[in-house]
């Protein structure tokens, strides 16, 4: 591939507490604020507790999920007395960190999350053709050995991108688990901190003129669909748990005929899809309200070009 030159990343944002009970990002951002860390080399660093009300009560959200409030439609919706707090907050964050899709937006936005699923360290974004994000992913993948490192692409147009990281010109979420909600584990915190440190190191190196080689990056997963819990037709209550052979096996191969659910009545429900896919966010606590048992993804390898900063 032909080499690519992109503008320097002069403004970087690190956000925690988008979900108020995902504690690694909350404590990491608070620590950076305590240290008054405001620069990453030549880049200005902005640190934000995204949902302070939810953090205060240690809940995912107060009115509605903040990390689903960053579509163009919601960001441009009129505010009334009935507008949920998180919609108001999303519009405030869009003013602070965006505006989304605008030349004035943060050059790089990294949003910090935890999951109860056995996901290791995952980066999540909306495109595998954002070469800044893909090169950061490769740096993290090469440098971090304390957890498996993977990249998840949601493949949505920018207008429909619903998470906070979409406010930046380049943006991604860091998702680390397993960690119970409302709890901070030292090992999970340290993995997140290492990923943030590697990101900031890469930004400094990129801005200083380092040339990054192209090549292939692996362990990239593109979202295919969600799988929902079986429900009792009369009560509409969840009628099964994740099967023990699938529990904690995020990103494994799920073959047709493999067990997916153990019904509370004792029956086993098997995967009936025709394609071998990879489950992730398996038995994520926060997804029970949506009845989502897990997502399925297709694995691929991505070729990225050589990259360096564009000089004036």
- CA dihedral sign of residues 86, 87, 88, 92: positive
Q: Is 22 a known ligand-binding residue?
A: yes
Q: What tokens appear for 240 in the block?
A: 């099964």
Q: What tokens appear for 72 in the block?
A: 């163009």
Q: What tokens appear for 137 in the block?
A: 């992913």
Q: Is 113 a known ligand-binding residue?
A: yes
Euclidean distance between CA atoms 99 and 199, whole angstroms? 23
CA 127 to chain centroid, in Å, comes to 12
Q: Is residue 38 annotated as part of the catalytic site, yes or no?
A: no
Q: Is 19 a known ligand-binding residue?
A: yes
Euclidean distance between CA atoms 233 and 231, whole angstroms? 6
- CA dihedral sign of residues 221, 5, 216, 113: negative
CA angle 102, 105, 107 (to 5 degrees): 120
Q: What tokens appear for 226 in the block?
A: 């969600």
Residue in 175, 272, 275, 284 annotated catalytic? 175
From the list 81, 292, 71, the residue with the least C-alpha distance to 160 is 71
Euclidean distance between CA atoms 283 and 249, whole angstroms? 10
Given strand 215-228, what is the order of strands in its sheet? 39-40, 43-49, 11-16, 108-114, 170-177, 120-125, 149-153, 215-228, 292-304, 278-280
Euclidean distance between CA atoms 157 and 167, whole angstroms? 13
Euclidean distance between CA atoms 312 and 64, whole angstroms? 44
Positions marked catalytic: 175
Annotated binding site: 19, 22, 113
Residues in the annotated binding site for Zn(2+): 19, 22, 113
């Amino acid at each position: 591939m032909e080499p690519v030159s992109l503008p320097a990343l002069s403004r970087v944002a690190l956000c925690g507490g988008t979900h108020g009970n995902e504690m690694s990002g909350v404590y990491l951002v608070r620590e950076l604020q305590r240290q008054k860390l405001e620069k990453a080399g030549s880049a200005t660093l902005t640190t934000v507790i995204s949902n302070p009300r939810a953090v205060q009560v240690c809940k995912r959200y107060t009115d509605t999920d903040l990390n689903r409030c960053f579509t163009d439609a919601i960001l441009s919706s009129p505010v009334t007395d009935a507008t949920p707090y998180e919609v108001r907050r999303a519009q405030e964050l869009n003013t602070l960190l965006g505006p989304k899709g605008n030349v004035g937006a943060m050059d790089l936005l990294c949003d910090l999350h935890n999951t109860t699923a056995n996901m290791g360290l995952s980066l999540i974004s909306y495109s595998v053709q954002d070469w800044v994000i893909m090169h950061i992913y490769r740096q993290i993948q090469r440098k971090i050995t304390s957890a498996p490192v993977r990249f998840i692409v949601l493949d949505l147009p920018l207008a429909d991108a619903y998470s906070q990281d979409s406010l930046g010109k380049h943006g991604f979420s860091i998702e680390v688990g397993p960690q119970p909600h409302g709890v901070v584990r030292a090992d999970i915190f340290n993995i997140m901190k290492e990923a943030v440190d590697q990101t900031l190191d890469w930004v400094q190196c990129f801005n200083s003129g380092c040339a990054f080689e192209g090549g292939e990056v692996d362990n990239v997963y593109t979202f295919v669909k969600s799988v929902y819990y079986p429900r009792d037709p009369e009560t509409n209550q969840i009628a099964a748990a994740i099967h023990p052979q699938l529990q904690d096996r995020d990103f494994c191969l799920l073959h047709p005929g493999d067990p997916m659910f153990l019904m509370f009545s004792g029956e086993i429900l098997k995967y009936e899809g025709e394609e071998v896919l990879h489950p992730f966010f398996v038995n994520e606590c926060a997804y029970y309200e949506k009845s989502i048992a897990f997502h399925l993804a297709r694995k691929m390898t991505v070729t990225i070009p050589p990259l360096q900063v564009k000089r004036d």
